[in-house]
Amino acid sequence: REVLDLLRRIHREGAAVLLGTTRPEVADAIGGRRLVLVEGRLVDPATVDGPEPARADAPRGGVEGA
């Protein structure tokens, strides 16, 4: 909890914070922009259903320029 509070404060002060996690609630606690990797590919977070990765046969919502 203390680490998340510190990261949140650093982010509010204007610093860029890059956080890698498999727990969406941790990313939500920090806020800001979220990038999602599915099977090693950068995808649009809106195409991912919850904390589990998208199915291999699901359409990929790739992010342009990635």
pLDDT single digits (tens) 9-46? 998 899 988 888 888 888 888 888 888 888 889 988 88
Indicate the pTM of the whole model.
0.51
Indicate whether 49 pLDDT > 80. Answer: no
Quick check: 39 and 53 in contact, CB under 8 A?
yes
pLDDT at position 45: 80
Question: Computed from CA positions of residues 32, 38, 41, 44, in that sequence, does the dihedral angle turn out positive or negative?
Answer: negative
Question: What is d(CA 9, CA 44) in angstroms, rounded to the nearest whole number?
Answer: 26
Question: What is d(CA 56, CA 43) in angstroms, rounded to the nearest whole number?
Answer: 13
Question: Higher-confidence residue: 11 or 51?
Answer: 11
Q: How many CB atoms lie within 10 A of CB 38?
A: 19
